[in-house]
Structure 1
Amino acid sequence: MAENETNGAEAAAPQQAPQVKMNVLAQFVRDMSFENILAQKGSSGDSQPDVQVQVNLDAKKRQPDHQYEVAIKLKVDSKTKESGSQLFLMEIDYAGVFHIENVPDEQLHPFLLIECPRMLFPFLRRIVSDVTRDGGFPPLNLENIDFLSLYRQEIARRAAAEQPKADA
């Protein structure tokens, strides 16, 4: 009798989805530039900086199965608050190669543009801090980036761009 109860319990248990598997295979700086405009002008850095940061994300499938490349492209523009003159400009394209398995197709796009950048960001933040410090400025410690919010904004922007086409 106990044998039948066990089989019944196993049959009633819902099948679990396979566990998501993600490994970071590599991280690298694809491209980077840092222009110290303040030093080029021969000025002193006694003014308050106004720092603007632009973030773009990109993801693409790589040749081996289950491999994807995700890139964070950052543009950091620092100007003086008083006169608006340029202090420095930094552009960096930081990428990671990920091995990802068991993510449903409908969830893969958000996974690549939310979870993967979250994994890369602490390393990118460190590079930005080191480069700005080595460039003669106080280290720029970037605030955390809400990649979920960025993803939602991009989806809304794309939907708004498609709206006029649908109405025409």
Structure 2
Amino acid sequence: MADEAPTGAPQQPTQPVMRILGQFIRDMSFENIVVQKGMTGEMQPDLKVEVALDAKKRQVENQYEVITKYKVVSTNKGNDAQLFIMELEYSGLFHIENVPEDQLHPFLLIECPRQLFPFVRRIVSDVTRDGGFPPVNLDNVDFVQLYRTELARRQQQGEAAKAN
């Protein structure tokens, strides 16, 4: 009977609570190599996007900072010359409750970046357009797969370290 509320009805599981307290650009750079080097001629951009994630507990209870790091490199398909490089670190401050401890890490590195992504997409689009290029509209990021890949990479590093 411990699972029942005083009215005799089964107790409902507590739903996770997530609120975005704030978000901001931690660091950003845009290097327009085409203008710097005076490149001319036909250019066919080829984009490479790298994404990295980090999260840390803040001193206030139930508050976390989630940092998303994007590196967008555009090269010319014809000769692999770099056209531009954009690096962006975008952070969100989150208040999170009712997430079990064993699920907190994936929650921070999957759900929180999903909430920040539309803002990152807009910034990348605006900066590349303002830099003189067609706006880069980032494809959706599969944060679940990114999380799994990072876990596998860390596990391999740990195993390699034990073998040495």
Shared fold, TM over 0.5: yes
Determine which of 14, 26, 33 is the counterpart of 2:29. Answer: 33
**Aligned residue pairs: how many?**
160
Match of 1:107 in 2: 103
Q: Does 1:80 align with 2:76?
A: yes
Q: Is the 8 A contact 1:78 1:86 kept in 2?
A: yes
How far apart are the structure 2 equivalents of 1:29 and 1:45? 34
- Unpaired runs of at least 5, structure 1: 1-6
Match of 2:154 in 1: 158
TM-score of the superposed pair, with normalisation by structure 2:
0.92
How far apart are the structure 2 equivalents of 1:131 and 1:52? 16
Determine which of 52, 55, 63 is the counterpart of 1:67. Answer: 63
* Partner deviation per Cα, 1:93-126 (whole Å, 9 max, x = no partner): 0000000001000000000000000000000000
* Identical residues among aligned pairs (%): 61
Across the aligned residues of Structure 1 and Structure 2, the Cα RMSD in angstroms comes to 1.8
How far apart are the structure 1 equivalents of 2:140 and 2:120? 11
How far apart are the structure 1 equivalents of 2:36 and 2:77? 19
| 1:1-168 correspondence runs (5 A) | 10=8, 13=10, 15-44=11-40, 46-167=42-163
Cα distance, 1:51 vs structure 2? 0.8
Cα distance change on mapping 1:89 and 1:8 into 2, 3 Å: closer
- Unpaired runs of at least 5, structure 2: none
Q: Is the 8 A contact 1:38 1:45 kept in 2?
A: no
Q: Tell me the secondary structure at the aligned position of residue 10 of structure 1.
A: coil
- Look up the equivalent residue of 2:127 and give its one-letter code: V
Match of 1:4 in 2: none
How far apart are the structure 1 equivalents of 2:146 and 2:30? 25
Cα distance change on mapping 1:9 and 1:126 into 2, 3 Å: same
From the CA coordinates, give the structure whose radius of gyration is larger.
1
How far apart are the structure 1 equivalents of 2:79 and 2:34? 13
